[in-house]
Amino acid sequence: MKRILQHPAPNETGRQYWRSVGELSDTPEFRGWLEREFPAGAAELGGDETSRRSFLKLMGASMALAGFGLSSCRKPEMHLVPFTKSAEWVIPGKFLYYATAMPRRYGAMPLVVATVDGRPIKIEGNPNHPESNGASDAFAQASVLDLYDPSRSQRFVRQNKLSDRATFEKYLAELRPKMAANGGAGLAFLVEETWSPTRDRLRTELQKQFPKMRWCVYDPLLSEAQHFSTEMSFGQNVRAIPQFDKADVVFALDSDFLNCGEGDLAAVRGFTSRRRVREAKDSMNRLYVVENHYTLTGAMADHRLRFSASQISTITHALALKIAAGTKDPGLSSVLITLKAPEKAEKFDERWLDEAAADLLSKPGASLVVAGPQQPVVVQLMVYAMNVALRNVGTTLLVREMPKTARAISILQLASEIDAGRIQQLFIFGGDPVYNAPRSVALDRTTRRQLDWADLQKRVPDVVRLGQYEDATSALSQWHVPSAHYLESWSDGLTNGGSHVAMQPMILPLFGGLSEIDLLQMVGGQPAPKGPELVQETFRLTNPPGDFDTAWTKFLHDGFATHIPATNRPAKFNGNTAGGVAHTLWNIPPAPTKESPEIVLVPSYAMDDGRYINNGWLQEMPDPITKLTWDNAALMSPAYAHHVGVKDGDLVRITVSEPPPPEVKPRPGQPPTPTPPPRPQVQHELVIAALVMPGHADNSVTVSLGYGRKHTGPVGEDAGFNGYLLRTSSNTHFIVADGRVVGSVTVKKVGTKYPLSITQEHYSIEGRGLVREATLDHYRADEDFVKKIAGDEELPAQLPSLYTHPPLTAPEQWGMTVDLNTCTGCSACVIACQAENNIPIVGKLQVGHGRSMHWIRIDRYYASAKPYNQDHNEWPENPEIVHEPMMCQHCENAPCETVCPVNATIHSESGLNVMVYNRCIGTRYCANNCPFKVRRFNFFDYTQRPVGKEKIGGFSVYQEYLGPFTEKGAPDTMKLQKNPNVTVRMRGVMEKCTYCVQRIEEALIAAHVRAGASDKTLIPRDSFTSACAQACPAEAIVFGDIADPETRVSKVKAENRNYRLLEYLNVKTRTSYLARIRNPNPKMPDARNIGVASPAEEKA
């Protein structure tokens, strides 16, 4: 009997999951993506520049040339090259792990780096450090690629001419007397925040030589407001550390605390630990989010309110009033007493806030209010006061003592010093101020013209730049000095929570770079240190117990110092100080309107502040929310896009103008003073592609920073638009026409289109019950709800299979689970997989053609009760988001295996669907037959030949289409990064997730080696995991042996939220998913729209 597969009808639950605006409106383009295994055009040879015919011509020519090249049929002689002297611990081909840390904006991230034959190849979190617990994030994972980036600066440059280190040292020696003149009054340093105690110590020592020198810390995304507010509220040298694992109710005000790119993995882990519902009786936290654009945090929210970022003060004030009324807390009242509710503020649903406030009030000591660090001081103060009022300080919000650091000046102060001509020698460490310093950073004293950093830097006679790239800042410096990567240098750091971590080099500087510590020492007149002396000296000052050498070795081995305890300060809120400050700074701009929207500048999930611009992995990582690669865009709500008249990819011109200068009226009776020359009205302008984003606040446009940085290398040269062009010192986070510093903000359609490579419609699988979710109440009422979606319960117990399958006889059977309830979509797994498995990048054009190679993709589904209304062009205003990581499911009845004509994909005894690259002839039948669309094909020789745009003779050509006419072979440094345990695939080969088979085999071999002459060959339980699971800060991915019921993965699979995708196809996937549970507050006005299978929904 023929069984005709009928997919269960979608929308059985009356709720729609959709991945893009195109899908919701069912555009022809989307149908194309849906119906093919690879997108249209993916299989075609031709690109924009090369047709099939011209390719054949090229090929003919190259074949003719190849005839001359048959130089040798002999076996090539290869050499084995041992060390001359043995190196400690080194066994050829074996991984060695060293603890280190990565300097980050809010504190170092503790890491463990795998090195093989002296080269670091893979980065993991430090499993022994409580703040990392073995997890890492996409930036840490990708930083190893930066180390090997061949476009990193490799030379000393003097006035844009090649120089060398000896000349630089001579120059420094000559400069020293000049610096010492007048106590160092002309000397200034512009540095990024690295939290290095050694750097701080060297700075203090330098200050003894040059007492009047200036030290400026600038990082475009480092928030002064939060630091300042914390000190105002709780005293000097403290940091507020939220404890999300203790909070039952979290209220986030424009706070993206789940963005692990900010480096706070403990927050991600803490928060998600309270969302892991093992059984129905478990409790779960609740998250309220108020934000203007969808963030990772917003995607996890139980209740989310779209609200303009510039109006967060309004809603914070309203919330604080409600909390104050509920708690009668004197500290909070003293902050609020002088603040008047703004008049022209944005309106919101009072009931929404009432119920949220009631929820917070019902959990004193177990609630938490957090605000994004970019929000103004008043918001921060109110948030701290609210937490004090809710008795959260000491429980869910710790006030941690941080080591005392010397004060630094801001870039504005430095700019005015330069403007005044007081700075003679300027040292710039890292950063790229020409690119990312605020525009109009100073006012020229004579011409009254606004100055950008580039103008200022030209006025300093001696500028020395220590930089990773010879970028725009270097071009305006007298000296460019190549900087060493953090994996190449000795240093130390403080983590987010204040613990002392070590940084040690994994490799000598590849390109002869200097570290900040080296250069500081050289400025002080000492030779650059050869080893860890300076860091050791700092460590000695912490008084390690016992023998110093032992303590130092332990410090390096563990990666962190255990003898310095973290101390928390008792909760004492300076209500009076905070109240005074709040009163002075209270100033809410008017609500943005259609005609005058707000522009919100946010960090990019891929580029951070622009420092990863030349990192191909991060460029190609789809943004977790927009799924945009290789670019940023102006995000706007469907309604606002309709107002501007743009669709995805239409260019818009954003113009921010100053208010017209006030006219100086001469006082009556006095002679008119000579008027200063008329100052031109300053306009900042940015032309950027628009992208429609459901769930975005109306009258608000979000631009992520970090793109559009030039002169850093071929990878990021054309990527995106520079949001810094709009950023001034008074508008660091949002720009709104307040009539005071900003006269008007306009967003106008330009009329041309810009190609955006968005992966959200690629590899679509429509309406198959892939994502399953419910509310907590529904789950408690019906524990097995997951089985009742998509018709799985109608499945006969055991369907017969037509094909024979190898017996699953191995003692270990591999399987995986992905918890949709804890997955934040941060994409650390995507990059971890890329680093582990030698996955190439394919370039923007190829991503646009749907040929990206990622083995894990994270599907982002919007969910909404009300579908798109095509007649009225009405969009779901506030859809929810569910992330679903999707990789090879390792089906036991794998559809791909049965169609391969050459047996290139087969099944192993341990349940892996293995891919044999050497057998693969590239028919792509397997990809065609894969119901999950997880197979990836090497359309080009990505690892051997260059990809991307290149200017050849005045024409812009995509190099991948030039085939044999491009240079073969990857740059040497890029070869060094490759994982030697994974085959580098060539053109014409299919590939996909292997469950990290190299790690499985490594563990298996290790178990057999340990067994030796015995039969104890089992792999120890949970002794290793896959790269994605290891990187995940939320522990959403669990990998292991499902034959052993005691492993973590077996226990997770036994939970009742567990479900397998497309169960009715009888493919028997090895990867399973845990359903998403939302925890809406039933009293909230929007509660009935939240969670797919909620009973209220069904009734409606």
Partner 1 sequence: MANFFPRWTNWLPLKITICGIVLISAVCGATWYYDTPKYTRVGYQPVQPVPFPHDLHVTQLGMDCRYCHNAVELAAHSNVPDTQVCMNCHTQVQKENPKLQPVRDSWTTGQPVPWVQIHRTPDYVYYNHSAHVNRGISCYSCHGDVNHMPVVYHAKPHSMAWCLECHRAPENFLRPEDQITNLDWKPDDVEPAAFVAKYGEPAGVKDDWSQKKHLTQREIGLTLKQRWNIQPPTNCQGCHR
d(CA 795, CA 724): 56
CB nearer partner 1, residue 395 or residue 905: 905
Query: Counting contacts by CB under 8 A, is residue 914 touching partner 1?
Result: yes
CB of 806 to partner 1, least distance (A): 8
Bridge partners, 161 (sequence order): 158
Residues 878-897 that bind partner 1 (CB under 8 A): none
Bridge partners, 443 (sequence order): 450
d(CA 364, CA 390): 5
Query: Counting contacts by CB under 8 A, is residue 72 touching partner 1?
Result: no
Query: Counting contacts by CB under 8 A, is residue 1015 touching partner 1?
Result: yes
CB of 913 to partner 1, least distance (A): 10
d(CA 782, CA 938): 45
Distances (CA, A) of 1082 to 286, 784, 1095: 12, 22, 12
Number of residues located near partner 1, criterion CB under 8 A: 43
Buried b (16+ CB within 10 A) or exposed e, 882-898: bbbbbbbbbbbbbbbbe
Residue type, 166: A
Segment contacting partner 1 by CB under 8 A, of 198-206, 649-657, 910-918, 929-937: 910-918
Query: Counting contacts by CB under 8 A, is residue 663 touching partner 1?
Result: no
CA 314-317-318 angle, to 5 degrees, is 85
CB of 904 to partner 1, least distance (A): 9
Give the SS3 label for residue 704: strand
CB of 916 to partner 1, least distance (A): 5
CB of 889 to partner 1, least distance (A): 17
CB of 897 to partner 1, least distance (A): 12
Q: What are phi and psi of 226, to 5 degrees?
A: -70, -45
Tokens of 603: 């960090």
CB nearer partner 1, residue 793 or residue 909: 909
CB of 893 to partner 1, least distance (A): 18
CB of 960 to partner 1, least distance (A): 23
CB of 814 to partner 1, least distance (A): 10
Contact 114, 97 (CB under 8 A): yes
Q: Report the relative pairing of strands 425-429 and 187-191 from DSSP bridges.
A: parallel
Give the SS3 label for residue 688: strand
Residues 496-535 that bind partner 1 (CB under 8 A): none
Query: Counting contacts by CB under 8 A, is residue 73 touching partner 1?
Result: no
CB nearer partner 1, residue 72 or residue 84: 84
CB nearer partner 1, residue 620 or residue 941: 941
Residue type, 214: R
Query: Counting contacts by CB under 8 A, is residue 177 touching partner 1?
Result: no
d(CA 826, CA 187): 42
Segment contacting partner 1 by CB under 8 A, of 290-298, 394-402, 614-622, 994-1002: 994-1002
Q: 866, 975, 1008, 1021: which one contacts partner 1 (CB under 8 A)?
A: 1008
Q: 316, 728, 981, 1066: which one contacts partner 1 (CB under 8 A)?
A: 981
CB nearer partner 1, residue 819 or residue 941: 941
CB nearer partner 1, residue 444 or residue 1001: 1001
Q: 209, 908, 973, 1058: which one contacts partner 1 (CB under 8 A)?
A: 908
d(CA 495, CA 105): 10
CA 878 to chain centre: 24
CB of 82 to partner 1, least distance (A): 5
CB nearer partner 1, residue 79 or residue 407: 79
d(CA 112, CA 559): 8
Give the SS3 label for residue 517: helix
Helix axes 533-541, 516-523, angle to 10 degrees: 90
Binding mask 754-793 for partner 1 (x = CB under 8 A): ----------------------------------------
Contact 687, 599 (CB under 8 A): no
CB of 83 to partner 1, least distance (A): 5
Tokens of 382: 């109110």
Q: Report the relative pairing of strands 249-253 and 286-291 from DSSP bridges.
A: parallel
Residues 792-821 that bind partner 1 (CB under 8 A): 806
CB of 85 to partner 1, least distance (A): 5
Residue type, 559: G
Nearest Cα to Cα of residue 251 among 930, 970, 1095, 1084: 1084
Tokens of 784: 């097995």
Contact 499, 135 (CB under 8 A): no
CB of 987 to partner 1, least distance (A): 15
Query: Counting contacts by CB under 8 A, is residue 1012 touching partner 1?
Result: yes
Residues 74-103 that bind partner 1 (CB under 8 A): 75, 77-86, 91-94
Nearest Cα to Cα of residue 720 among 753, 756, 767: 756
CB of 75 to partner 1, least distance (A): 7
CB of 834 to partner 1, least distance (A): 16
Q: 164, 537, 909, 972: which one contacts partner 1 (CB under 8 A)?
A: 909
Is residue 879 packed enough to be buried (19+ CB in 10 Å), middle (13-18) or exposed (0-12)?
Answer: buried
Q: 998, 1043, 1044, 1058: which one contacts partner 1 (CB under 8 A)?
A: 998
CB nearer partner 1, residue 172 or residue 982: 982
Q: 446, 798, 804, 918: which one contacts partner 1 (CB under 8 A)?
A: 918
d(CA 451, CA 36): 54
Residues in the chain: 1100
CB nearer partner 1, residue 116 or residue 503: 116
Distances (CA, A) of 814 to 234, 423, 808: 51, 63, 10
Q: 916, 974, 1003, 1043: which one contacts partner 1 (CB under 8 A)?
A: 916
CB nearer partner 1, residue 475 or residue 810: 810
CB of 366 to partner 1, least distance (A): 48
Residue type, 654: I
Segment contacting partner 1 by CB under 8 A, of 574-582, 913-921, 1045-1053, 1054-1062: 913-921
Binding mask 273-302 for partner 1 (x = CB under 8 A): ------------------------------
Q: Report the relative pairing of strands 773-775 and 1058-1059 from DSSP bridges.
A: unpaired
CB nearer partner 1, residue 436 or residue 913: 913
Rg over alpha carbons for the chain, rounded to the nearest Å, is: 30
Q: 994, 1047, 1079, 1081: which one contacts partner 1 (CB under 8 A)?
A: 994
* DSSP per-residue codes, 740-797: SS--EEEEEEEEEE---EE-TTTT---SSS-S-EEEHHHHHH-TTGGGGSTTGGGS-S
CB nearer partner 1, residue 741 or residue 916: 916
Nearest Cα to Cα of residue 1082 among 1100, 1095, 1066: 1095
Tokens of 868: 């798109």
CB of 1016 to partner 1, least distance (A): 8
Contacts with 668 (C-beta within 8 Å, 6 or more apart), sequence order: none
Block residue for tokens 């110092």: 561
CB of 959 to partner 1, least distance (A): 25
CB nearer partner 1, residue 306 or residue 936: 936
Segment contacting partner 1 by CB under 8 A, of 70-78, 429-437, 455-463, 963-971: 70-78
Query: Counting contacts by CB under 8 A, is residue 917 touching partner 1?
Result: yes
Q: Which residue ranges make up the site for partner 1 (CB under 8 A)?
A: 75, 77-86, 91-94, 806, 906, 908-910, 912, 914, 916-918, 981-984, 994, 997-998, 1000-1001, 1005, 1008-1009, 1011-1015, 1017
